[in-house]
Amino acid sequence: MGRRFEVEDGATLLHRSGAGGPTVVFLAGGGMFSLYYWNVHNLVAEFTTSVIYDRLGTGWSETVDLPRSGTQVTDDLHQLLHAAAVPGPYVLVGHSLGGLYARLYAKRFPGEVTGLVLLDPTHEDIVDYLSEEKAQRLRDSNTDDLFPPEQLDAMRTAYQTTFGRALAGWPAEIVAHYLRQPSSACWPDSLSRGV
């Protein structure tokens, strides 16, 4: 599925289906990657070009230190779309954290974007709308502290079982690879430490 293209900071996976325009590009939420959008990607590809990709450090793209800045992420996407010769203009579909990246991409490269679809998007000012206690908790959060080591195996099994059922209709080779992914595929990155 798809192929990797070189951008400045590493090889990035992109899968394209369909034909025509405008091209729809899916930007995954945090801790997610392209295959989460496989079904809707295939539906969109029935009437136009549809693109799913894995940001650097996620899915089948090259491993990099995370987190990365919005500028780095949008530079990567800009380079990727051009390296893969994906025709514009683009309709960016940003889910959660991907919504932030979609909006930033449109701001930085307005001539390439014809529309935005934001699915439960995160907003950069979210902390301003929280109580001080919740805002401080968010600023201080550390995923390393969320899960006690003795719970990791049980949580891994639960995630794999749940995602295995949810993906039952997907191609078997994709599901098998997806469920083997040690990080954001089936459990938060903090759960993959020590795998």
Biggest alpha carbon distance in the chain?
51
Token readout for 15 is 């899968």
Name the phi and psi angles at 14, rounded to 5.
-135, 135
Whole-prediction pTM value? 0.74
Taking Cα atoms as reference points, which of 31, 26, 29, 30 lies closest to residue 14? 26
**Where residue 155 falls among pLDDT bands split at 50, 70, 90?**
low
Report the alpha-carbon distance of residue 48 to residue 24 in Å, rounded: 8
pLDDT digit string (tens) for 12-52? 999 999 999 999 999 998 878 888 888 899 999 999 999 99
Q: Which domains, ranges and CATH numbers included, belong to the chain?
A: 1-124 (3.40.50.1820), 143-195 (no CATH)
pLDDT digit string (tens) for 128-147? 777 888 777 767 765 555 55
Question: What SS3 class is residue 76?
Answer: helix
